[in-house]
Each structure stands twice: as structure tokens, then as C-alpha cells.
Amino acid sequence: MAIASSPPTSSYFPFFSPEAAQDTNLLHQLGFIPGLKELLMVRQVHALEHATIWLLSDRTTANPALQHGQGEVSLGGMSTEQGFYVYGAVTSMKLRQAVHSALLRLVAGDWDLAVHPRCGTNLSVGMVIATGLALGVPWVLPRNPLEQLLGMGLAATAAMHLAPELGSLAQRYLTTAIPFNLAIGNISALGDRQGRSVHFVQVRWVEQPLSFAAQQQNLKTKTS
């Protein structure tokens, strides 16, 4: 759940840069783990949801006609591995524009958009720990699958012990990921529920070609 407020101000990815092919690589190496793909997908969807809410809140604050209630526009979101729901006053067309530009901006390096200060607990503790499992791999980076599994276990254990203090870090590094593997599908208006309009933004997984990833890596080392 993300509720619109002011735009992001600080840098949310100070420690490492997301790699375009990180999730593709994970899937190639660890695709045998049940549910891994869904988990990687929901993290990417969650980032797209946050970025979309950011962009929509910019729009709606710029257009008071869309506001209702006592001044504050409240837009909410909820992510699944198939897409995300947007709750609140927004037209399908504005939503479509926002989703597309959110995806472009995230992939182009606007990573702060992936984190929303009012993200709630729509992802269960289990999901957070499971994403910790997945994220442990790039931290540890051994090539051997057994070592990778060990590294994942360590990351999960660390996540469990540190979770209370690291709520916002969990969002930054565990429950969202830059949507390098998402393509936007249908956006459907689901009508009103309890006085708020609801939309669903469908996404699908796109395999990031490994050769493309290697090219990007080369480009990065050349330019940095």
C-alpha cells in the first residue's frame, strides 16, 4: 500500500546500483527454487506501483479538480505477481501514462521512485524474508549453487534478526526491485469499491537477454 504525499527527496540506493540483468541471472541460476520467479516479479511490480503512485500524486496535486475529501489526495496501491491495483480517483488514461513513464524512469535510473515512505505492510513478513533469500545471492556472489544457497540462508537469517530496525531498508532492498523484466499489459477499470475507483495494471515478465546485460555491463565499465 502506498499513499500519495510529497515527492522523494533523498537517495535510496546509496550502497549498490541495480543491475539490469540481476533477476534474469538469478532465474537462470536458481530457477529450480519454487516460487522464485513470482517473488522476483512481485518485487519489480511493487517498485512500479510505488513509482506510478509518485507520478500520479504529482499530477493530482497539480489538478485540484481530481482531489476529493479534505484536500489531501489519497491514492493507494497493492502489488501481486501479475500486476498491481491502484485505488483512488484517477482516469484510465492518466493511469496508463503514469505507468508507462514510471517504468521508463525507473529503468533509466530514477531509482528513488521505487521507494514510497507510506508503503504499508501489504507484503507479509514471509514475503520479506523470502525476498531476503533471493537478494542474498547478489550480496554473496559465489558461483557454486551450494554456496549460493548458503549465502541465501545467511541473508534470510540476518533479515529476520534485523527486520524491526530495518523496516525502511527492507523496502529499499528487499520488497522492491527495479522493474527491468516487466512489460505493461492491460489496464482495466474495475469500478468503484467503497467509494473509491479501482484499476488493475497487468504486467508480464520479459526475459532480459543475457547478452544485452553483458553489453550494458561493458558500457558501464567504460563510462565509469
Where does this chain bind Zn ion (CB under 5 A)? 2, 119
The residue of the chain with the least Cβ separation from Zn ion equals: 119
Cell 523496516, residue?
167
Q: How far is the CB of 1 from Zn ion (least distance, A)?
A: 6
Q: How far is the CB of 115 from Zn ion (least distance, A)?
A: 9
Kindly list the distances between the CA atom of residue 5 and the CA atoms of 14, 71, 75, 167, in Å, as whole numbers in the listed order.
23, 12, 9, 19
Q: Rank residues 2 and 26 by Cβ distance to Zn ion and give the closer one.
A: 2
Q: Rank residues 75 and 152 by Cβ distance to Zn ion and give the closer one.
A: 75
Q: How far is the CB of 79 from Zn ion (least distance, A)?
A: 7
Task: Indicate the SS3 state at residue 186.
Answer: strand
Q: How far is the CB of 2 from Zn ion (least distance, A)?
A: 5
- Mention every residue, 6+ apart, whose C-beta is less than 8 A from residue 61: 4, 67, 73
DSSP 155-166: HHHHHHHHTTTT
Q: Rank residues 21 and 123 by Cβ distance to Zn ion and give the closer one.
A: 123
Q: Rank residues 132 and 151 by Cβ distance to Zn ion and give the closer one.
A: 132
